[in-house]
Structure formats: structure tokens, C-alpha cells
């Protein structure tokens, strides 16, 4: 019996378990808060005794409905999110009592204005830079406004103790996730990028964080043990790829599939569907609101100007994961990430001396052939 295959098989079988968990929580009187972005302070929502649930945004299925209200030349992630809202096809959206969004890119913040017609929304005003003390002060006020809104909405007091408890809980999950990711540093890596994604999705859509942390540690342990005993699932001659850029769940997982079919292997995801959120723990010794504000503002998203945090983190990851090539995934009409490709290319090729390519795609499968040709040529060059 292959223990690692068994683990992945079970995760595939349980991929819809999150919906059942949220449904049961709702039936037991818990509130659900829908979220879209890694800037959302998870701990504040959880301290209000509510479940923060990531909303559906990665399928093409609802885009045509969204285009009845939104322009066609808008990022697919925004159209998909909105489409799921108006068609009521995302169970997490249906169960949500409140949606929390942030003013990241223009398309997202304008879409929230329409979403508010369907569900109660709380939009956090995100500073457009994260390197000045004024930015942190502004963001801290927003974190406090969110806390107050949740208290009012759910008639509950969010105490310092509750915040501390949630910080601890989520930090444990971050540590467990980090431990799992770091398997990708091994040469050759013990598992494929597609399998990494499977585990990440499991963590994202399971809401009992205590048990998720335990499962992650167990999965990491089994993979390490098998590796130490000589099991090699991934050939050592596969070029090691880091993915950066826009989030790549659901429909965009086509890129991971192509990379690995074309004989590469994804060892690290720098983007928001990957390690970006786990980069920094929340300081458990500080005032919880201060510590939460600092951690979340640190995220290196292209909505920030300048976005130096992305470069700094990318630099560390390229070295630590011994990366041969960086693939920067841009969702169509994502201007902020698209503009950053020039700086990324300069940095990755010029300063890190690592191969770089950017890919623009959407949620359709119509560009598969073209992506295959480009990715295969890139991997061959490595």
C-alpha cells in the first residue's frame, strides 16, 4: 500500500466536506462570514464566534451571468465571484450572513458595490502602500471598524482573550502549513505541485483549524518518512518551478497540470493561493489588534504601490526552493499584476539569474494548446 497515494485519495474523496461543515455550523446557529482575499483578518471574524469562509471565485461557470452586469474585459476572478453571488451557486455565499471585502484592485472594490445589493457587506479600506507608519495606523483603524461591525451584527463582544485564542489557533495552522510547504525544498521534491495544491485546498475549506493543523502535521510526517526511506515519486531531472502572480485555484490549475505534463515540477507557490499568507505569524506577545494589523498589512499584493514586499519574499523563496524557473501567472485584465511583470522579469532574470516567463490567461480552457506550446518551450530551456 502506498501511504502517500492513500492520503491524496482520501483528500480527493473529501473535497466537498467543507460545505457540509459550514451547513452544520449554520444549522447549529453559528454565523458565517464570506471572504475573498488574504488581507481579511481571519482571527477577528473567528473571535466573533463566526466562521470565515472563502467564497467561490475560480470557475468559469458563472462568468456569463456576471457579464450581464459587469464589463467583459474585467478580471475573471472578479466576474466569477460576482457571478457566484448573483446566481446563488456558491454554498458558502448562500450561507454567509456578512461578506467582508477590501479595497484592493479597482475592479474588486467596484464589484463590491453591486454585491452589497444581495448581501450585507463590510468593505475594509485598504491603504495603497504598506511601508509607512501612517499606512499601519489607517489599517489598524479599519481592523477596529471590522471588529465593531461584527460585534454589532452578531450581538457579541470580541474580547482580547478571544482574539488571543484565535491568533494562537491560526498561528498553529500557519506553522503546520509552512512545515508542509517546506517539503518542496527537498531535491528532488517528494510530491508534485498538483498534490501540494490538493493539500492546500483541503486546509482552506476545512474550518476546524485545530484538526486541520493536526492533519497537516501528519501528512508532512508520512511524506518525510517515505522520502527518508528512499521513496522517490518525482524524477530528479525535472526543472523546479516557482509560481507567482495572481491566485491560481480552480480553472487556472490547468497551468500546474501543463507544467507537470511537460516534465517540470512546481515546488513553490508564492501567490495568494500558496505560501504568501503563511509568510508571517501574528506576534502573540503584542496587543492583538496591533499584531493582527501588522501581519495582514505585510502581504505583498500588486494592489500596493510600491510592492517591495513581493520582491523581497520572492527573492528568499527562489533561493530556499532552489528554483530553476519562475512562471508569473496573470489573469486577463489584472492590470496591477500585469504592470509588475516588467519589474519581476528584471529582478528574476537580472538579479537572481533565474529564467522567467509571464503567462496571461483566463478561466476558459480555450488557450490550453497555446499554453502547452509556451510552457513546454520554457521548460525545455531550463
Site for ligand BJ8 in 260-289 (CB under 6 A): 272
From residue 11 to residue 50, what is the string marking binding to ligand BJ8 with x (rule CB under 6 A)? --------------------------xxx-----------
Query: Among residues 7 and 333, whose Cβ is nearest to ligand BJ8?
Result: 333
At closest approach, how far in Å is the CB of 40 from ligand BJ8? 8
- Rg for the chain, CA atoms, rounded: 20
Instruction: For residue 334, state whether it binds ligand BJ8 (rule: CB under 6 A).
Output: yes
Instruction: For residue 337, state whether it binds ligand BJ8 (rule: CB under 6 A).
Output: yes
Instruction: For residue 115, state whether it binds ligand BJ8 (rule: CB under 6 A).
Output: no
At closest approach, how far in Å is the CB of 300 from ligand BJ8? 8
CB-based contact 46:52 (threshold 8 Å): yes
DSSP for 297-360, written as a single string: HT---TTSSS-HHHHHHHHHHHHHTT-SEEEEEEETT-HHHHHHHHHHHIIIIIIS--EEEEEE
Query: Among residues 83 and 239, whose Cβ is nearest to ligand BJ8?
Result: 83
Site for ligand BJ8 in 289-308 (CB under 6 A): 299, 301, 303
* Residue 240 DSSP code: E
Instruction: For residue 75, state whether it binds ligand BJ8 (rule: CB under 6 A).
Output: yes
Q: Which residues of 29-52 are buried (b: 16+ CB within 10 A; e: fewer)?
A: ebbbbbbbbbbbbbbbbbbbebbb
Cα torsion 291, 292, 297, 298: sign: positive
Stretch touching ligand BJ8 by CB under 6 A, among 100-108, 135-143, 159-167, 361-369? 100-108
Beta carbons within 10 angstroms of residue 366's beta carbon? 9
Instruction: For residue 243, state whether it binds ligand BJ8 (rule: CB under 6 A).
Output: no
Instruction: Give residue for cell 459550514.
Output: 22
Burial category of 326 from C-beta neighbours within 10 Å (exposed 0-12, middle 13-18, buried 19 and up): buried
Instruction: For residue 246, state whether it binds ligand BJ8 (rule: CB under 6 A).
Output: yes
Instruction: For residue 78, state whether it binds ligand BJ8 (rule: CB under 6 A).
Output: yes
At closest approach, how far in Å is the CB of 375 from ligand BJ8? 20
Rule CB under 6 A: choose which of 51, 66, 90, 105 binds ligand BJ8.
105
Query: Among residues 105 and 216, whose Cβ is nearest to ligand BJ8?
Result: 105
CB-based contact 242:274 (threshold 8 Å): no
53: its cell numbers: 469562509
Q: Contact positions toward ligand BJ8, by CB under 6 A?
A: 37-39, 75, 77-78, 104-105, 107-108, 246-247, 272, 299, 301, 303, 331, 334, 336-337
Amino acid at each position: 500500500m502506498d501511504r502517500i497515494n492513500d492520503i491524496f485519495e482520501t483528500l480527493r474523496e473529501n473535497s466537498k466536506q467543507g460545505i457540509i461543515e459550514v451547513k452544520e455550523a449554520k444549522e447549529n446557529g453559528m454565523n458565517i462570514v464570506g471572504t475573498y482575499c488574504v488581507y481579511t483578518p481571519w482571527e477577528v471574524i473567528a473571535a466573533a464566534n463566526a466562521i470565515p469562509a472563502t467564497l467561490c471565485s475560480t470557475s468559469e461557470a458563472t462568468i456569463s451571468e456576471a457579464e450581464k452586469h459587469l464589463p467583459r474585459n474585467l478580471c475573471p476572478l472578479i466576474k466569477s465571484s460576482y457571478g457566484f453571488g448573483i446566481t446563488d451557486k456558491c454554498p458558502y455565499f448562500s450561507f454567509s450572513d456578512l461578506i467582508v471585502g477590501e479595497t484592493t484592485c479597482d475592479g474588486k472594490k467596484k464589484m463590491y458595490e453591486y454585491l452589497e445589493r444581495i448581501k450585507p457587506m463590510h468593505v475594509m479600506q485598504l491603504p495603497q502602500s504598506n511601508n509607512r507608519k501612517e499606512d499601519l495606523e489607517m489599517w489598524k483603524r479599519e481592523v477596529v471598524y471590522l471588529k465593531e461591525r461584527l460585534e454589532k451584527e452578531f450581538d457579541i463582544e470580541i474580547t482580547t482573550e478571544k482574539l488571543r485564542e484565535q491568533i494562537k489557533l491560526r498561528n498553529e495552522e500557519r506553522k503546520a502549513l509552512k512545515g508542509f510547504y517546506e517539503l518542496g525544498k527537498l531535491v528532488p521534491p517528494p510530491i508534485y505541485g498538483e498534490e501540494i495544491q490538493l493539500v492546500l485546498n483541503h486546509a482552506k475549506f476545512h474550518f476546524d483549524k485545530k484538526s486541520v493543523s493536526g492533519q497537516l502535521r501528519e501528512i508532512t510526517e508520512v511524506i518525510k518518512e517515505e522520502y527518508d526511506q528512499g521513496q522517490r515519486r518525482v524524477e530528479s531531472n525535472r526543472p523546479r518551478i516557482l509560481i507567482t502572480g495572481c491566485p491560481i485555484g480552480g480553472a487556472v490549475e490547468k497551468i500546474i497540470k501543463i507544467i507537470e505534463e511537460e516534465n517540470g515540477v512546481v515546488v513553490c507557490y508564492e501567490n495568494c493561493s500558496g505560501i504568501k499568507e503563511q509568510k508571517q505569524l501574528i506576534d502573540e506577545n503584542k496587543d492583538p489588534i496591533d499584531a493582527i494589523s501588522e501581519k495582514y498589512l505585510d502581504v505583498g499584493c500588486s494592489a500596493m504601490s510600491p510592492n517591495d514586499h513581493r520582491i523581497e519574499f520572492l527573492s528568499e523563496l527562489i533561493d530556499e526552493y532552489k528554483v530553476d524557473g519562475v512562471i508569473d501567472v496573470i489573469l486577463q485584465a489584472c492590470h496591477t499584476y500585469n504592470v509588475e511583470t516588467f519589474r519581476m522579469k528584471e529582478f528574476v532574470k537580472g538579479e537572481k539569474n533565474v529564467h522567467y516567463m509571464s503567462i496571461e490567461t483566463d478561466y476558459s480552457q480555450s488557450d490550453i494548446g497555446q499554453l502547452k506550446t509556451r510552457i513546454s518551450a520554457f521548460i525545455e530551456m531550463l
